[in-house]
Amino acid sequence: MRFYSNNTRFNTRLFSLAVLLLLTGLSSVPVFAQVTINTSGGRNGAKTEQAEQAEARIRQISGDSGKFFRQGLDKLQNNQRNEAREEFDKSVEVFLMSGVNVQRDRGLRECYNELIETVYRMEFPSGQQPANLRRLSTICNWEIRDEVADGIMDMLRRSPVDPEGVDSLASAAAGDDQADVAQLAIGFSDQKFEPSPLDDLSKLQLNADEIDVDSPEAQYEYEVIRTAAANKSLGFSFQMHKLVQQYLNYYRGRGRRTMEVGLYRSGFFMTMARQIFREESVPENVAWLGQVESAWKPTAQSWAKAAGLWQFIPGTGARFGLKRTAHVDERRSFEQATRASAQYLKFLANRYGGNWELAMAAYNCGEGNVDRAIRRAGVSNFWAAYPYLPQETRNYVPNILATILIANNPQQYGFGHIRPAPRLRYDRLKVPPSTSLNLIAQASDSSVDYLRYLNPELRTNSTPPEQYVVRVPAGKANDVVAILKRGSFVKDDSKRLANSSKGETWESISNRTGVTVAELKSANPGMKVPRGKVFVPVVEGNNVAATSYTRPTTKPVVKKDPSVKIVKAKSGETVKKLAERVGASAVEVAKMNGLYVNSRLNAGREIRVPTGK
């Protein structure tokens, strides 16, 4: 299962489980019941058995993660980019699904954070701050040979990069579906969209162990589920069938990882989905259809060009009001596509007399196929029509029913340790036509990549040419509105935003940006002194584009600023210790360098420190 999304493969998986965490200031997500790491000694300084077991578990986690990472490097060297991404995914998931609180152990925490940063830098290669495989090897104590690290970095440096990361508008405007699958050769990504899990579902064959449901325990389970289904305990009735039990066996066995990841990712969207399904008078549990459709990946796309959380094909999406233009594809939206899905399911249930099994089947293969199967069966019943339905649909409905049963009784089916991800939080606000995402990103202290993750329906790096509601990081809507109200630069990429510190002057901003005071004042009319974010015109060589909203860089400042000095970090120092050494505020130093107060620094790293001048 992959989490990548948006216009690159990174965003659904690592973007949602890593970049999102980094943006919110967290370094780990407790997925399983937490294991407390206790390394205190027993009598006479001897380690307790519990401490030894904890240390062994930590070594195992680090070792397993390193094994997958090195396998990913090997596949990347052989230009097997999809396979490499799978290995990097597994490397990260060793931490996320270990059951250990990564935050509590310093070694694991630092290794995890460096791993996330390294994979990010490999996914989005940057000449200013490339991935550092040697540093990762040192921090995590992984054996990555120098020649391997050098070869990988040389490969990434030679990768052609689309600087804007956008689709071809000409192709999209012409209705060319190839624009939907345009490849961006960035880092180890080689395909824009995630394959839908439905593609594999159509080929799934249950094995002998999974088919075996004849034991007394299985028969008892069957009767319990049959009674619950008949009583509408799950919000709707359905006819129990042994194939549902067989899919329960599949998920308790070789499909366990698929179910674990799906239950975790459901946390991002299930609260929203339940609310919308409830508003549309559709049983809330039917929303678990989203897990089978897309594994909760907003940019999943099937071979049939079905797209989004709810896998709409273009024609069906248009029937239920989802726009698809050169600027947006609302099949990939959150709220709009979810509401369209609920409305379509309600339409289908009404068509088949309230039979939700037939409604789900038609959602998968279309009303025409279901109507023909019913005619051949001679009765409006899913299990009677089953032999006449496409193979994918035969697997699809019992799969959803099994997923609903597990999701409502995770402890009973062996998934009680899974904690769903926190609900994806964001603010929504209406912005002017053709607003640049660069501007919104700077105003919200975010990035264009993260905005594209929050707005997967957008097909370019600007909003459509009409007023449009965009999602921005939670708590940032007012900041964006304040910037939009100040100027007419919504479409203008010749200006950037820079943060000003309390007491700063136009002269000091001029010194560090290379833009004249007159140009700064002209770009910020009515602002007598700098406050908050200020507009900075982009002129050749002023470095604003590189410093105003991208990740921090260790490169020295080009122009000297008397209010700032450069200090090199010593081995083992944190931002706080360095600030204490030079007599500066740790908070100000952290803010000036885009770091945390407790961030560890590599020996020799150049840190900007305020001089007080």
The residues assigned a catalytic role are 293
Give 265-318 as a DSSP string: HHHHHHHHHHHHHHHTT--GGGGGHHHHHHTT-TTEE-TT--BTTTTB-HHHHH
CA dist., res. 201 & res. 292, Å (int): 9
What DSSP element (H or E) covers 591? helix 586-593
Contact 51, 38 (CB under 8 A): yes
Helices (H) and strands (E) in the chain, counts: 27, 8
Q: 425 in the Ramachandran plot: left (φ > 0), alpha (ψ -120 to 50) or beta?
A: beta
Phi, psi angles (nearest 5°) of residue 282:
-110, 135
CA dist., res. 223 & res. 111, Å (int): 49
First-to-last CA distance in the chain?
54
CA dist., res. 578 & res. 594, Å (int): 15
User: What stretches of 352-476 show up as alpha helix (H) in DSSP?
Assistant: 356-365, 367-377, 382-385, 391-408, 437-443, 448-454
* Cβ-based neighbours of 232, under 8 Å, separated by 6 or more: none
What DSSP element (H or E) covers 431? strand 426-431
CA dist., res. 547 & res. 533, Å (int): 13
Query: Apex CA 24: angle with CA 491 and CA 108, to 5°?
Result: 135
| HSE, side-chain direction, 13 A CA sphere, residue 492 | 14
Which residues lie across from 496 on neighbouring strands?
536
Contact 512, 559 (CB under 8 A): yes
CA dist., res. 349 & res. 337, Å (int): 18
Q: What residue type is 376 in one-letter code?
A: R
Query: Apex CA 325: angle with CA 324 and CA 329, to 5°?
Result: 40
Nearest to 12 by CA among 150, 254, 193: 193
